C-alpha cells in the first residue's frame, strides 16, 4: 500500500463515519445555536455585527443555498488535503498523528454543521504541520494561517502569536503556568474595588452570551449564584469540565452519549500528555512549546463558558495541540529539514 493509497483509505474511513451523522442532521432538521445565527438570523448579516461574523454568515448562507450538505462537502475537501500525503499509519508520522484529531466524536459530529469550529480544527492541524516541517514561526504560510485563525477566533490567534514571541525567552514549564497565573491575577483584580468597572463590563458580556442559550441562571457550567466581584473564581470551575463536560452534565440522548465518548477520549489523551510533560521539562522544540502554551491557555477560554455544547465546539481547536504533546518525541522530519532536537531555534 503506497502512501497515496493510505491517505485515500483514511479519507474513506472519515467519510464512512461522518456521512451518516451529516445525513441524520439534514433529515432531522437539527440546527445548532450558531447555525441559527449564521444561517437564519437577521442579526447575522446586519451592519451592527462583527465583520468576522458577517463574513462567515454570508459564506455559510451561500453554501447553504447551494446545498444543505455544502459545508460538509467543503470540509471533506479540507480533510482530503490533510490526509493525502500520509506516508504510514504510524504515530511517528505527524500527518497521521494529527489526523486523529479529525476522528474525535466532536469533530465528526460538527464536520457537517455550518459552524466555524471544524474549519478552525483544520487550520490548526495545518499550522502544526507547517511549524513542524519548517521548525520556524516566521514564514509567510504560517503567518497567513495564524491570520485566518485570528480572524475566525481572535483570542485563539492572539494566544498563538504570543507563544511565538515569548518562545525563545522562557523555559518549558513557564508555558504551562502562565495562563493559570493570568487567571489568578484576574481573580485578585476582581476583589479590587477601583477596577470593578472593568469587571462589570466582562460580566455584562458574560450574561449576554448566556442569554443566547437559556437565559441567565448563574455563572459557569455549574450555574453558581451570581456575584460579579469574584466572577473569575466562579468561571475557573469550568476548567474542571471544559474538555469533557458531558461526563459531568448532559442528557443520555444520541448527542449526549456521543459527547460522553468524546470526553473519555479526551481524558485518555490528557493523561498521556501529563505523563509526557514531566519527561519533557527541558524540551526546547518550537512546536512542543507552542502546543503546551496553547493547551494551557484553555483555562482562559473555559473562564466565561456558559453552555456545554459551546465549550465542546471551542475545545475542538485544542485537539491537534493535545495530540502533538502526546506523541511529539517520536515524530521525524523530512530529509533536509531541521532535525527535531532540544536545541533547535524556532525563530530563524
For residue 38, what are the contacts with CB-CB under 8 A and spacing of at least 6? 44, 53, 56, 57, 60, 61, 114, 115
Mean pLDDT of 149-171: 83
Q: How confident is the model over 172-189, as pLDDT tens digits?
A: 666 666 666 666 665 555
Residue 212 confidence (pLDDT) above 60: no
**Residue 182 Cα distances to 176, 259, 274, 298, 320, angstroms:** 11, 30, 21, 12, 24
Per-residue pLDDT, 336: 43
Mean pLDDT of 306-320: 85
Residue 241 confidence (pLDDT) above 50: yes
Q: Give me the residue spans of the domains in the chain.
A: 3-30+67-330
Q: What is the 3-state secondary structure (H, E, C) of 23-56?
A: HHHHHHCCCCHHHHHHHHCHHHHCCCCCHHHHHH
Residue 271 confidence (pLDDT) above 50: yes
Mean pLDDT of 321-341: 69
Mean pLDDT of 135-149: 84
Residue 347 confidence (pLDDT) above 50: no
Are the C-beta atoms of residues 268 and 262 closer than 8 Å to each other?
no
Per-residue pLDDT, 337: 44
Are the C-beta atoms of residues 306 and 213 closer than 8 Å to each other?
yes
* pLDDT bracket for residue 296 (50, 70, 90): confident
H helices within the chain, ranges in order?
A: 3-28, 33-35, 51-66, 70-83, 94-99, 105-110, 117-134, 140-152, 154-166, 172-190, 196-211, 231-236, 254-278, 286-296, 298-302, 308-315, 319-327
Q: Which of 185, 188, 221, 194 is nearest to 206 (CA)?
A: 221
For residue 342, what are the contacts with CB-CB under 8 A and spacing of at least 6? 282, 283, 284, 285
What's the whole-number average pLDDT of the chain?
A: 78
Q: How confident is the model over 61-94, as pLDDT tens digits?
A: 999 999 999 999 999 999 999 998 888 888 888 9
Amino acid at each position: 500500500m503506497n502512501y497515496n493509497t493510505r491517505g485515500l483509505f483514511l479519507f474513506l474511513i472519515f467519510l464512512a463515519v461522518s456521512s451518516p451523522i451529516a445525513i441524520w442532521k439534514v433529515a432531522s432538521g437539527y440546527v445548532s445555536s450558531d447555525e441559527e445565527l449564521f444561517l437564519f438570523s437577521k442579526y447575522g448579516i446586519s451592519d451592527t455585527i462583527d465583520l468576522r461574523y458577517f463574513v462567515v454568515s454570508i459564506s455559510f448562507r451561500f453554501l447553504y443555498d447551494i446545498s444543505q450538505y455544502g459545508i460538509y462537502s467543503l470540509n471533506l475537501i479540507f480533510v482530503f488535503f490533510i490526509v493525502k500525503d500520509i506516508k504510514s499509519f504510524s504515530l511517528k508520522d505527524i500527518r497521521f498523528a494529527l489526523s486523529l484529531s479529525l476522528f474525535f466524536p466532536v469533530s465528526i459530529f460538527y464536520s457537517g454543521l455550518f459552524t466555524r469550529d471544524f474549519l478552525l480544527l483544520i487550520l490548526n492541524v495545518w499550522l502544526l504541520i507547517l511549524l513542524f516541517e519548517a521548525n520556524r514561526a516566521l514564514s509567510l504560510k504560517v503567518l497567513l494561517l495564524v491570520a485566518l485563525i485570528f480572524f475566525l477566533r481572535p483570542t485563539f490567534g492572539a494566544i498563538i502569536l504570543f507563544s511565538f514571541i515569548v518562545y525563545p525567552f522562557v523555559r518549558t514549564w513557564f508555558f504551562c503556568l502562565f495562563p493559570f497565573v493570568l487567571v489568578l491575577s484576574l481573580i485578585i483584580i476582581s476583589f479590587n474595588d477601583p477596577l470593578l468597572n472593568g469587571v462589570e463590563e466582562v460580566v455584562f458580556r458574560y450574561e449576554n452570551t448566556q442569554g443566547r442559550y437559556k437565559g441567565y441562571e448563574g455563572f459557569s457550567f455549574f450555574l453558581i449564584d451570581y456575584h460579579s466581584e469574584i466572577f473569575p473564581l466562579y468561571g475557573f470551575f469550568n476548567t474542571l469540565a471544559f474538555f469533557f463536560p458531558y461526563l459531568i452534565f448532559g442528557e443520555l440522548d444520541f448527542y449526549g452519549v456521543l459527547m460522553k465518548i468524546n470526553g473519555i477520549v479526551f481524558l485518555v489523551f490528557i493523561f498521556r500528555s501529563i505523563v509526557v510533560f514531566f519527561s519533557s521539562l527541558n524540551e526546547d522544540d518550537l512546536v512542543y512549546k507552542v502546543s503546551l502554551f496553547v493547551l494551557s491557555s484553555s483555562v482562559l477560554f473555559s473562564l466565561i463558558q456558559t453552555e456545554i455544547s459551546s465549550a465542546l465546539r471551542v475545545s475542538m481547536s485544542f485537539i491537534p495541540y493535545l495530540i502533538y504533546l502526546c506523541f511529539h518525541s517520536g515524530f521525524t522530519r523530512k530529509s533536509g529539514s531541521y532535525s527535531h532536537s532540544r536545541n533547535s531555534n524556532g525563530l530563524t
